[in-house]
């Protein structure tokens, strides 16, 4: 006696690889305009007094702008006046100097 074994294939079920990827909030660099993980970028914040400062914690209140930790992006942002446009005010050279200091570290 021949036994026939019928195997039903469940190949319709696609086994998607479970890639572990934590979703990071994305922000756009004001220099290269590329979207990057927020934690890879340097945050510049304007507080309600209208003062611009670098926000190393990423949690300061105010309107923020983000830039890559990259001197080329900073130069691009300076040339295109991205910060001025973002914050709708003139940016003092001190802010740029501070950024230069942080980025070249």
The answer to whether 44 and 52 have CB atoms below 8 angstroms apart is yes
| 3-class state of residue 37 by DSSP | strand
Nearer to Zn ion, 52 or 68 (CB): 68
Nearer to Zn ion, 60 or 103 (CB): 103
Distance CA 72, CA 104 (A): 11
Least CB distance to Zn ion at residue 35 (A): 10
Residues at the site binding Zn ion, with contacts judged by CB under 5 A:
29, 31-32, 68, 73
C-alpha Rg value of the chain to the nearest Å: 24
Least CB distance to Zn ion at residue 18 (A): 31
Nearer to Zn ion, 32 or 60 (CB): 32
């Amino acid at each position: 006696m021949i036994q026939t074994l019928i195997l039903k294939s469940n190949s319709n079920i696609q086994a998607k690889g479970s890639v572990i990827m934590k979703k990071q909030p994305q922000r756009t660099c004001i220099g290269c305009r590329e979207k990057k993980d927020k934690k890879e970028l340097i945050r510049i914040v304007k507080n309600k007094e209208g003062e611009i400062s670098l926000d190393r914690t990423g949690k300061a209140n105010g309107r923020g702008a983000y830039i890559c930790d990259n001197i080329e992006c900073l130069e691009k942002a300076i040339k295109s006046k991205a910060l001025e446009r973002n914050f709708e005010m003139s940016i003092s050279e001190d802010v740029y100097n501070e950024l230069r200091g942080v980025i070249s570290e």
